[in-house]
Structure 1
Amino acid sequence: MGIYLSTPKTEKFSEDGENDHLRYGLSSMQGWRSTMEDAHAAHTDLDESTSFFGVYDGHGGKVVAKFCAKFLHRQVLKSEAYAAGDIGTSLQKAFLRMDDMMRGQRGWRELAALGDKINKFSGMIEGLIWSPRSSDGKEQADDWVFEEGPHSDFAGPTSGSTACVAVIRNNQLVVANAGDSRCVISRKGQAYNLSRDHKPDLEIEKERIIKAGGFIHAGRINGSLNLARAIGDMEFKQNKYLPAEKQIVTANPDINTLELCDEDEFMVLACDGIWDCMSSQQLVDFIHEQLHSETKPSAVCERVLDRCLAPSTTRGEGCDNMTMILVQFKKHAQSSAPPEEHSSNEQVESKPKQERSET
């Protein structure tokens, strides 16, 4: 089977939900791709005052995206930083923790349960796993219990996933992103990016890649991966002299914090299958048009997916898996300045500063 099907799979998985502060709809579609490698998470009530939304775009397989959808929000909840009210730090730790959790026998077992096919002779997840003879073997003591077994030295999957997550608590919105899935907010009809696409040719990414011993060829790391940050992709994270955030590819997310206001209408989280076809502003404009005649958020998402689906595979754009979450805000704080797109490695509060939106 090639990378594309002869006809696209246009069946969609869609759902809607709401609480006192927001309503959301989501939809995902396999499209022209031979497999579906996107995953998502939507929890309106992560706790009594917090909502969690995430999109995960897998590459090389679906297991890492599904692993993140299953476990990342749970790790956020378990963090001491989260209990102390520091959502940004809890998100950063959860992103990095995914890589740790996918190693060893327990990680292998969880990935195998989420995978497509296991070779009954070797016990390996076919086409997804790369396992050198051994690693340091240092196990962090927590409730992710160490397991003995034939895959105790498993160093993690070669497949990987982007992760773009939004946490809403009262009037605070915190976005964490690793990869090229994207979060965009509409404020008075204007699109503002709350995440940055992590491509290898960005100067800050290029510098880390080269310092860690990698190279960039034709826009791809080591001629292979076209993302500078991702969860998984363990073969790019093997420098034992560097911390996780300085590896060739890192799961370390950018964090952006924003105070919501009455002018904020909705937020979109979507994988790059959408952004390959529409700019942030084009998508915001399209959603505004659809909301004139459609009140169900998932139906609006479905129309976006149909709008982006290519008529054929000749060009490539519109041929990817597509996943989108639309979150509409019911009520906010009194006022706020335009959001600022986050563009550094560190967690920062958004300052009152005008940004130029993507058009």
Structure 2
Amino acid sequence: MIGTSRQPQPHLLISPSFTLAARSHRTKYPRILAATSTATEQGAACRQGTSRKRNEDRFALQVPLNGKGGLTGYAGVFDGHGGFAASEWLQKNLLQYIQSDWEPSNVSESLSEAFRLADQKLLASKPGFFGAMGERGVGGSKCGATGAVALLLGSGPGRPKKIVAANVGDSRVVLVRGRKAVQLTQDHVPDDDEERERIESTNPNPKRPLVRYVGGTWRVGGILALSRAFGDAYLKGSLQFEGIASRGSDDYSSGFGVIAEPYTTVTDLRSEDSWLVVASDGLFENDVRGGGGGLDNQQVADFVLKHGREWSPDRLANELIDAAVEEKSTDDITVIVVRLPK
């Protein structure tokens, strides 16, 4: 297991924690270029939705990353709900957990452990007697976040060899392969048949389904329109008051079925792979779950292929947000675009 004695690497680009909601219509971030001519270029943009009182999205982008075990880049998008405390904590801390438990020979298990430990930290009660008696969880018991991360793996400063993608919730990682969009993540929503079956399998009261249709969409407990998320202590078991521990569990998993177990993929990069997009769900169309408009994966791929040669990655990220807003997206939108070198 790789330790974390190394300090955070340079070239870290993270979204400001406070000023995002106050920024103007167009929020731009500078490109970061590695030192070699074969370097990866990247850009990001984050914008508050028109239906939101504040922006609860956060992101972190670190390319190049001089990590151990072949890690050469990191991009993460975190879409908060019930406040921005959980998404901001993930922005600042998740990479450390990933690097601490990183085993390149067993990527899926490493990321599962990192996500689980990060979630346990997010769910922990405040210290002291009065903290133990109050709401647990960073930001409170109803604060949570989705997360989608992309890790670049390579043996040197040139083209990465692999992309590892992992997500909890409905933020996405999309690879542009040739002329096609390839989604490397899986949306975790309660209207998905497999997710619903998983949730209902731990239901202590089969006469009342845990997944119910409320407010135009399917929700766990009639409340949360996600089946997996970081945080959300009130839907996860504890030795205190929130949640119902599933049979045989260690009280981390919940009778409500909301977990932070990631969906993970490892993709060998090909010469035809040109772009990587990591984005919150505000970028994408969401008609199935009663949400607002947006783009589908192929529209995103077509957009970056059309404009990628003339625009910088940070402009591409901003223009993608504009395109989603034109398609009636009202949610917070965060987009990271990474140009993969040839």
TM-score, scaled to structure 2:
0.75
| Equivalent position amino acid for 1:65 in 2 | S
Structure 1 counterpart SS, 2:49: strand
Deviations 1:212-234 (A, max 9, x none): 22611211111111111110111
**Are 1:330 and 2:341 matched, yes or no?**
yes
* Whole-Å separation in 1 of the counterparts to 2:124 and 2:190: 29
Residue 251 of structure 1: CA displacement?
Answer: 0.5
Structure 1 counterpart SS, 2:108: helix
Residue 302 of structure 1: CA displacement?
Answer: 0.7
* Whole-Å separation in 2 of the counterparts to 1:149 and 1:215: 33
2:30 corresponds in structure 1 to 15
2:195 corresponds in structure 1 to 205
**Are 1:309 and 2:293 matched, yes or no?**
no
**Are 1:286 and 2:303 matched, yes or no?**
yes
Q: How many residues align?
A: 277
1:60 corresponds in structure 2 to 82
* 14-23 or 192-201, which deviates more: 14-23
Deviations 1:128-171 (A, max 9, x none): xxxxxxxxxxxxxxxxxxx5453145532311100001111111
CA contact (8 A) 2:275 2:338 kept: yes
1:74 corresponds in structure 2 to 96
CA contact (8 A) 1:10 1:31 kept: no
2:121 corresponds in structure 1 to 101
* Whole-Å separation in 1 of the counterparts to 2:43 and 2:66: 17
CA contact (8 A) 1:46 1:52 kept: no
Structure 2 gap ranges (5+): 1-21, 155-160, 204-208, 238-243, 286-293
1:30 corresponds in structure 2 to 48
**Are 1:260 and 2:260 matched, yes or no?**
no
**Are 1:184 and 2:174 matched, yes or no?**
yes
Residue 293 of structure 1: CA displacement?
Answer: 2.2
CA contact (8 A) 1:195 1:254 kept: yes
The 1:209–1:185 alpha-carbon spacing in structure 2 relative to 1, beyond 3 Å, is same
Residue 8 of structure 1: CA displacement?
Answer: 10
**Are 1:41 and 2:57 matched, yes or no?**
no
Residue 13 of structure 1: CA displacement?
Answer: 4.4
CA contact (8 A) 1:198 1:229 kept: yes
* Whole-Å separation in 1 of the counterparts to 2:254 and 2:167: 16
Deviations 1:252-287 (A, max 9, x none): 011111111111001100001101200000111011
* 275-284 or 84-93, which deviates more: 84-93
Match of 2:112 among 87, 92, 95: 92
What RMSD over aligned residues (CA atoms) do the two structures have, in Å? 2.2
1:229 corresponds in structure 2 to 228
* Whole-Å separation in 2 of the counterparts to 1:8 and 1:173: 32
1:216 corresponds in structure 2 to 211
CA contact (8 A) 2:28 2:314 kept: no
CA contact (8 A) 1:230 1:250 kept: yes
* Whole-Å separation in 2 of the counterparts to 1:202 and 1:104: 29
Structure 1 gap ranges (5+): 1-6, 109-146, 312-316, 332-359
Residue 245 of structure 1: CA displacement?
Answer: 5.6
TM-score, scaled to structure 1:
0.72
* 147-156 or 30-39, which deviates more: 147-156
* Whole-Å separation in 2 of the counterparts to 1:14 and 1:103: 32
| Equivalent position amino acid for 2:320 in 1 | V
The 1:203–1:246 alpha-carbon spacing in structure 2 relative to 1, beyond 3 Å, is farther
* 239-248 or 179-188, which deviates more: 239-248
Deviations 1:8-38 (A, max 9, x none): 9514142322335422111111131210000
Within-5 A mapping of 1:97-136: 97-104=117-124, 108=126
CA contact (8 A) 1:13 1:29 kept: no
